[in-house]
Structure 1
């Protein structure tokens, strides 16, 4: 399994690194588009595993929404999509997570179907917007999610005793989440101190609003990265699957790799829009 994970990761990096550093931003947008369309296919397969043709249609519909909003060049529509996605993560997702596994998946299938057509396109527009602000701006924002996950894993392994969401994800602990947050505080402090202030969301917020609001913003982003991870875990458990798909051998599916980014990137994009 480890060998397969390493091979898959190596291939992905061999594709992604030239796109990031050698090619114009258009190609990175196309890469994200492929990833989000694949994630939408997985999303539909989890809702209705037996409806294979419907999954392809769902992916095409998701792609159509993105291309339509892109072609219309209606910034207000794209912004509205981000707002709707963020409102869901702030005001609806916490109540769904609070229910744990005490939900009727059959009754929620239509809800999940509509939801995917909102949060997945919103994630793509958020990623593209952050890239327009600069490659470092995008990568530093995404890195916050990865660092939170890494910190939570190692701190949870070493000190985790109190379960964060035992029904949804038994392996996650409160200690791990706090450890991930602490590591993110250190990471964002270093970003502000050692990178040009306008090159990262954290530096821009620190210079505009001050250190305390910046750390509060980081707390919110890290919290919702955890929400995204838990939400997908709950989704998979309700659907009765271990991984969202097997598109990435050794890693599961695309959704398994981007779940924490789905709520965090739209929030980061809106926060960047404030400055």
Structure 2
């Protein structure tokens, strides 16, 4: 299993890195458009519409994303980020409150629509963040990865109180706090070391937050770290309600696309919203 995970990761890096570092960000947009179509396919399958309807849903989602980009390009209105953020804060927290049993009670059409909007906003945020700069995009993505890795080790070491036992039994409050501490440390390093001493192509998300919000940027990091947990738990809830361990088997050893990007879905649009203040 470990060898399979490593091989899959290396193949993904071989595909993603050239697109990420290409001088024209449109190549990254096109590649991630394929990924968002796959995520849409997985979302449809998890919400009661497998087979051909799932393929059509993924294709339609990619078409809507492409059409939006064709119309607005990289100049996405700021209200889009706040709309997506509001959906995550209100809808995501509400979904976690109703739990695994409550999610299937929503109509399939509403669940599909919600997934389409959230994936649409996440893809647009990913593309716009790349256009702002590789350093900006990577700093936002690394926030999620640091929150996850630090939470894992803190939970393993200190975890006692379960965070959401009915949804993800392995998560603990101690792990969530450890993830937050890791994010703050990462932000300090990025602002005072990476952005200052390395030849980056743009200010990081952390530097932009500090420049615009000052000490309040710490609260922004707390919020983004918390929302990464919400994104993770939300996808776990949907999978548990569908009786699935993974969102799919598209990525051998890793599960599906949604399994890899769940925590990024709320963080990317919210990062753009907060850095617009």
Unaligned runs of 5+ in 1: none
Describe how 1:101-120 pairs up with structure 2 within 5 A: 101-103=100-102, 105-120=104-119
Once the 2 structures are TM-superposed, how far is the Cα of residue 33 of structure 1 from its aligned partner? 1.1
Partner of 2:3: 3
Contact 1:168 1:230 in 2 (8 A): yes
Contact 2:101 2:241 in 1 (8 A): no
Partner of 2:212: 208
Partner of 1:24: 24
* In structure 2, distance between residues paired with 1:116 and 1:224: 16
* In structure 2, distance between residues paired with 1:221 and 1:190: 17
* In structure 2, distance between residues paired with 1:31 and 1:74: 16
Partner of 1:43: 43
Mark the CA change 1:149 to 1:215 in structure 2 (over 3 Å): closer, same or farther: same
Mark the CA change 1:11 to 1:40 in structure 2 (over 3 Å): closer, same or farther: same
Partner of 1:186: 185
Is 1:220 paired with 2:219?
no
Contact 1:159 1:175 in 2 (8 A): yes
Contact 1:119 1:262 in 2 (8 A): yes
Partner of 1:176: 175
- Detail structure 1 runs of 4+ shifted over 6 Å in the superposition: 74-77
* In structure 1, distance between residues paired with 2:97 and 2:122: 23
Partner of 1:130: 129
Partner of 2:199: none
Partner of 2:276: 273
Unaligned runs of 5+ in 2: 197-201
Q: TM-score, length-normalised on structure 2?
A: 0.93
Is 1:236 paired with 2:244?
no
Once the 2 structures are TM-superposed, how far is the Cα of residue 133 of structure 1 from its aligned partner? 1.2
Is 1:34 paired with 2:38?
no
Mark the CA change 1:245 to 1:97 in structure 2 (over 3 Å): closer, same or farther: same
**Greater alpha carbon shift after TM alignment, 239-248 vs 14-23:** 14-23
Mark the CA change 1:18 to 1:76 in structure 2 (over 3 Å): closer, same or farther: closer
Q: Deviations over 1:157-187 (max 9, x none)?
A: 1111110000000000110110010011100
Once the 2 structures are TM-superposed, how far is the Cα of residue 104 of structure 1 from its aligned partner? 5.2
Give the superposed CA RMSD: 1.8
* In structure 2, distance between residues paired with 1:18 and 1:8: 16
Q: TM-score, length-normalised on structure 1?
A: 0.93
Mark the CA change 1:75 to 1:26 in structure 2 (over 3 Å): closer, same or farther: closer
